[in-house]
Amino acid sequence: MMKMATKIIQAQDDIWEPICKEIFSNKTVAIPTETVYGLAGNAFSEEACKEIFRIKGRPSDNPLIVHINGMDMLSRIVDVNEIPSKIWPIMKKFWPGPLTILFPCIPHNKGGVCDQVTAGLPTVAVRFPSHPLALKLISLTGLPLAAPSANLSGGPSPTTAKHVFDDLNGRIPYILDGDKCCLGIESTVIDCLQDPPLILRPGSITKTDLLPFLPNIQTFDSLKRKDSSSILATTLSIKPSTPGMKYRHYSPNAPLILLRPINRDDCFEEKVVKFITEKFDTYNNIIRITSHLTMDFPISKHSKYMEIKCSSTSSSSEIAQNLFDSLRMADSYNPSLIIIEDLEDDDDINLGINNRIEKASSSIIYL
Ligand code: TXA
Ligand code: MG
């Protein structure tokens, strides 16, 4: 089969016609958003949506997020009379932005998005992005765009046009270059259709941001982690309902070990160093992704060790912005092992970062 040449294109006036043409002919293009790059196609088109799943190698039961440019478009895909009243102020406050909300969808046979988008669920996940290039494409086509992250399924999400190219070169015609994504982790996904409302995927819009609007909102991850048989989880019969939760996600090619402190004290760094030193017996090329300066330690002359700093300031937003890039960069050195630690849960954005790190890792070691 002939491979198509994938072009990375800069946003200029003359690029929109060919890009829109691809969307109108039910093909896909990669576009920047404020969170990560997305692989966009017409959400009404079965052909386009099947193409998205095929290109990414995505399991067909993992539904897609639909990107819109305002309330008129929302009303074309969602039964607005069925929207619970508590959702309206949330849309007003956080849209456009990195928040995806589940809605009762208009079925495809009544004019709604195609069944591939929803994976046959009665709900559709909708996001109104703030990135000007994403908004421009939605407006020029006049179509809601289904867009999962523009990476090969299972790998780290793409936060630059180059990341998309590395994964999808030869599979898509165009990557619209919008520079580095400013947030770096995917949108927060919330389900307000059940009680209590749930954060299905933590992101830059945090629980603290949402609490004034949804005082009983819960984070699905934290419910699960504290105690899977907890009173909350059982008596409220929470149905975690993001099908994507069961799949491998964000993972680099090399095994990734997540080191999690039992106690976050000064000894943790020493334990990490000891752990890595011992691992040199088995792994001769170790990369550590970290946000802080680490101690020097003895490395046998047969082993290679490198550190990748995912932040120069240790700020949560900078770590979020660089996390996927660091995982991809680590892989580019072909290490035999990658080590990462998770962050303190004190900062809300850290929950989103830790969620990605935990899902990306092949094992978790408590030290
Ligand atoms: O920031 C983002 O949300 C990015 C950019 C491109 O907008 N998109 C993104 O899409 O992360 P994706 O496909 O990689 O993640 C979509 C998530 C999955 O975890 C999926 O299971 C969940 O949203 N989802 C989609 N529709 C759903 C539905 N109807 N019910 C529950 N979860 C749903
Ligand atoms: Mg994804």
The protein residue whose alpha carbon is closest to atom 18 in ligand 1 is 244
CA 127 to ligand 1 center in whole angstroms: 9
Pocket of ligand 1 (CB under 6 A): 33, 35-36, 38, 62-65, 98, 100, 102, 118, 121, 123-125, 127, 147-149, 186-187, 189, 200-201, 241-244
Residue numbers in the chain where pLDDT is lower than 70: 1-2, 221-247, 293-302
Q: State the pLDDT at residue 237.
A: 39
CA 338 to ligand 2 center in whole angstroms: 21
Distance, CA of 145 to CA of 249 (rounded, Å): 22
CA 137 to ligand 2 center in whole angstroms: 20
Q: Are 2 and 168 in contact (CB under 8 A)?
A: no
Question: Phi and psi (nearest 5°) for 152?
Answer: -70, 140
Nearest-5° Cα angle at 333, 331 to 335? 70
Q: State the pLDDT at residue 232.
A: 38
Alpha helices in the chain (DSSP H): 16-24, 46-56, 71-77, 87-94, 115-118, 132-141, 161-168, 207-210, 220-226, 231-235, 267-279, 316-332, 348-360
**How much helix, strand and coil, in percent to the nearest 5, is found in the chain?**
35, 20, 45
Q: Which atom of ligand 1 is nearest to the CA of 243?
A: 21
From residue 282, alpha-carbon distances to 59, 255, 267, 285, 304 in Å are 34, 13, 24, 9, 12
Q: State the pLDDT at residue 319.
A: 96
How many other β-carbons are positioned within 10 Å of the β-carbon of residue 107? 13
Q: State the pLDDT at residue 247.
A: 65
